[in-house]
Amino acid sequence: MMTIDAPATAGVFLMGRKARQKLTRTAPAPVVAAVSEQAPAPVDWRARDWTIAALLIALTFIVFGQVTSHAFLNFDDGQFVYENQHVLNRDVSWALTSTEIGWYPLTWLSHMLDVTIWGPRAGMHLLTSVFLHAISTLLLFLALRQLTRAPWPSAFIAALFAIHPMHVESVAWVSERKDTLSTVFAMLALWLYARAPRRMLGVSIAMALSLMAKQMYITLPFVFLLLEAWPLNRLRTLDDLRQRAIEKWPLFVLTIAGAAAAVIGQRSLHAIQTSLPIGERIANAFNAYATYVGKLFVPIDMALPYPLVHTSLSAVILPLPILAAITIAVYAARRAAPYLLIGWLWFLGTLIPVIGIIAIGNASMADRYTYFAYIGLFIALTFGAIDLAARVRIPSQALAAIAAIAVIGYAIVASHQLRYWKDSETLFAHSLDVTHDNSVAEYLLGQTLQATKPDQAMPHLQRAIDLTLPALQSPGAKAPDWFPQAYVAIGTALVVKARAMPDSPVRSALLRGAITNNRYALSLDPKTPHAANNINVATQMLPHNPRQDEYDTYLDEGTKFSQAGRYDDAVKQYRLAVEIFPQSVEPHIYLGLGLLQANKRSEGVAELRAAKAISPADANDFLTNALHMPVNPRNLDAFIAQAAQ
């Protein structure tokens, strides 16, 4: 018969209420025992523990086994695996030294090993991540069992870690190999620490390996200090705290080194955002904390990514009091139920590097950030439930049944969530269903559909652009990395549509639109991948027209001169383009903007008015796209009025 064991240090809290009251009345004043300097005695390994380990591994593979049929995603998987020539060519020296995408040497080596073994089979790459996840689950069980001497609660916590739906993102996304791999070494460090809290060599090596996979666990020394307070009970005075911190000095050195490596990597990716005001970042952090707590209990509407929205401090009116109330409550109960405070601080503290105070990327939060942080809440809730059950005299069998129901329920939800991760189209369509104004998901879905379902792709790509344009009007604002590529994707969709049509004016118009969108992309970033090649493809598909070829050459040369700051030379090229097609809106807009750049205001305004005279709607749309302005039918008039002043 399964029973729920309590941690050895919980002791008195598992007694009935009357027994505790009697003990309180009759017991002498407590005597503080000397803190043991010896390593904890190893726990006996029994058939029960083998059974638990086997069940945890089986549970992990039962829930996550379906990933073997999944595909790579078009979000980061390319740069981490299938488009990364360094990985495909097994460039070990690059893996060990490169910071261009982030410093993840062990992660790169693991991807290279997968490419060697599995080739391009995404499902098998994901199976490796499932295997790593299973190892982390087992190590977590071993560590908690050693720390608390409570095998069944430790097993329950490990099971929650294994199958909680919020952990799907870390395991079912090839790009998050860095998450699962770094966590294996973090769990190894935790287990080694549980076995010998004062022996830092093995723990330091494991932490260093974790940071070489991803610099997520720079907070690990602080987690160990929390465990010193409970369940190890080695923190009773400030002097104890000082001694325990000094013991861990190698870990704190690794924390500093890991933080430096993370900053260097994120700067290389241009992922550190400085445009969001600090007040909004703080507000977003409180909202994220509250949302993570909510999704622990009700894991619904999970998305990749969650859009980063402007959040005022007034938006934390509800989350802030809730978080404050929890903090006050667990602090007040720190003597009677220390695991509540320890678990809560574990959760809060391990999320600090990714909670958004230092804004990284364009997401407000991410499910993967809870991968390790939730363990603290699992600990608090599990041992809190055991204590509460003892107080109200709930039989251990009933508590075990509730735990089993919880595990089964989470496993079912996680299995359902995994289905959304089978391919990019399914995942990002789901993300758009559960979020609002999600420009990145709109772009990723449009990019996924551009070559197969162009008519469906273009509205998503245009929506992604429209959602992004207003933010670009702010001083110093920079377009996200994917923004030029959205124009390339629209151009690709137009070419795909044109390819299925016979020669006709409509087909030529589609190809001209493809060329124009790719030119927009190059005007944003001259190095935009595929844009130049797509222009060549679309140009070759057009009916051969020497005059058209000349026209394209003049516009391309003018754009190059403009980007180089040679505005007068650019104007000369644009004038030649206008001479070829004087009744086309496009060359007049190019010439008008070129003249304005060359500080020839009156001539520039005249050319813009000439474009409007040919087709007001087309001229307005062209200028709107050229200047990346929010959609408005009067953009051209407003711009002409401003330029004429």
Per-residue pLDDT tens for 563-613? 889 999 999 999 999 999 999 898 999 999 999 999 999 999 999 999 999
Q: How confident is the model at residue 471 (pLDDT cuts 50, 70, 90)?
A: confident
Q: How confident is the model at residue 275 (pLDDT cuts 50, 70, 90)?
A: low
Percent of all residues in the chain with a pLDDT value above 90, rounded to a whole number: 71
Q: Regarding predicted confidence, which is higher, 287 or 314? A: 287
Q: How confident is the model at residue 227 (pLDDT cuts 50, 70, 90)?
A: very high
Cross-strand bridge partners of residue 360: 272
Would you call 94 helix, strand, or coil by DSSP? Answer: helix
Res 645: pLDDT: 80
* Cβ neighbours for 19, distance < 8 A, ≥ 6 positions apart: none
29: how many CB neighbours lie within 10 A of its CB?
4
317: how many CB neighbours lie within 10 A of its CB?
9
**Statement: residue 485 has pLDDT above 60:** yes
Q: What span, in angstroms and rounded, lies between the C-alpha atoms of 608 and 640?
A: 7
Mean pLDDT of the region 33-48: 64
Per-residue pLDDT tens for 123-148? 999 999 999 999 999 999 999 999 99
Distance of CA 473 to CAs 20, 126, 467, 479, 645, Å? Answer: 66, 41, 12, 10, 20
Q: What span, in angstroms and rounded, lies between the C-alpha atoms of 291 and 285?
A: 10
Res 35: pLDDT: 40
Which of 199-203, 273-277, 587-591, 614-618 bottoms out in mean pLDDT, i.e. has the lowest? Answer: 273-277
Distance of CA 417 to CAs 123, 172, 183, 349, Å? Answer: 16, 10, 22, 27
**Statement: residue 27 has pLDDT above 70:** no
Which of 268-282, 454-468, 540-554 has maximum average pLDDT? 454-468
Spans of all domains in the chain? 45-421, 437-542, 544-645
Q: Regarding predicted confidence, which is higher, 168 or 540? A: 168
Q: What span, in angstroms and rounded, lies between the C-alpha atoms of 333 and 309?
A: 36
Cis peptide leading into residue 587 (ω within 30°): no
Res 21: pLDDT: 43
Per-residue pLDDT tens for 349-400? 999 999 887 766 678 899 999 999 999 999 999 999 999 999 999 998 999 9
Architecture of domain 437-542: Alpha Horseshoe (1.25)
**Statement: residue 8 has pLDDT above 50:** no
Q: Regarding predicted confidence, which is higher, 582 or 316? A: 582
Res 308: pLDDT: 83
Q: Regarding predicted confidence, which is higher, 247 or 361? A: 247
Tokens (6 digits) for 90: 């097994």
**Statement: residue 313 has pLDDT above 90:** no
**Statement: residue 45 has pLDDT above 60:** yes
* 433 CB-side CA count, 13 A: 10
Nearest of 538, 3, 478, 420 to residue 172 by alpha carbon: 420
Res 269: pLDDT: 60
Q: What span, in angstroms and rounded, lies between the C-alpha atoms of 559 and 522?
A: 9
Distance of CA 255 to CAs 39, 140, 200, 249, 258, Å? Answer: 24, 21, 14, 10, 5
In our burial notation (b when 16+ CB lie closer than 10 A, e otherwise), range 484-511 reads: bbbbbbbbbbbbbbbeeeeeeeebbebb
Res 273: pLDDT: 55
Q: What span, in angstroms and rounded, lies between the C-alpha atoms of 442 and 490?
A: 12
**Statement: residue 18 has pLDDT above 90:** no
Q: In the structure, how many helices (H) and strands (E) does the chain have?
A: 31, 0
**Statement: residue 630 has pLDDT above 90:** no
**Statement: residue 168 has pLDDT above 80:** yes
Tokens (6 digits) for 52: 């638990």
Q: What span, in angstroms and rounded, lies between the C-alpha atoms of 376 and 230?
A: 12
Nearest of 537, 162, 601 to residue 154 by alpha carbon: 162
DSSP 266-297: HHHTT-B--SS-HHHHHHHHHHHHHHHHHHHH
Cis peptide leading into residue 231 (ω within 30°): yes
Percent of all residues in the chain with a pLDDT value above 70, rounded to a whole number: 91
Q: What residue type is 604 in one-letter code? A: G
Q: What span, in angstroms and rounded, lies between the C-alpha atoms of 366 and 179?
A: 12
Can you tell me which residue has the tokens 């087709």?
Answer: 615
Mean pLDDT of the region 514-541: 90
Mean pLDDT of the region 7-13: 39
DSSP 22-74: HHHHHSPPP-PPPPP-SPPPPPP--HHHHHHHHHHHHHHHHHHGGGGG----S
Same fold, 437-542 and 544-645: yes
Mean pLDDT of the region 525-537: 91
Three-point CA angle 226, 168, 367, nearest 5°: 60
Helix axis angle for 439-449 and 424-434, nearest 10°, is 150
Q: Under CATH, what is the fold of the domain 544-645?
A: 1.25.40
Res 153: pLDDT: 97
Res 359: pLDDT: 64
What's the distance, Cα to Cα, between the start and end of the chain in Å?
86
Q: How confident is the model at residue 315 (pLDDT cuts 50, 70, 90)?
A: confident
Q: Regarding predicted confidence, which is higher, 64 or 529? A: 64
Nearest of 98, 119, 107, 116 to residue 80 by alpha carbon: 107
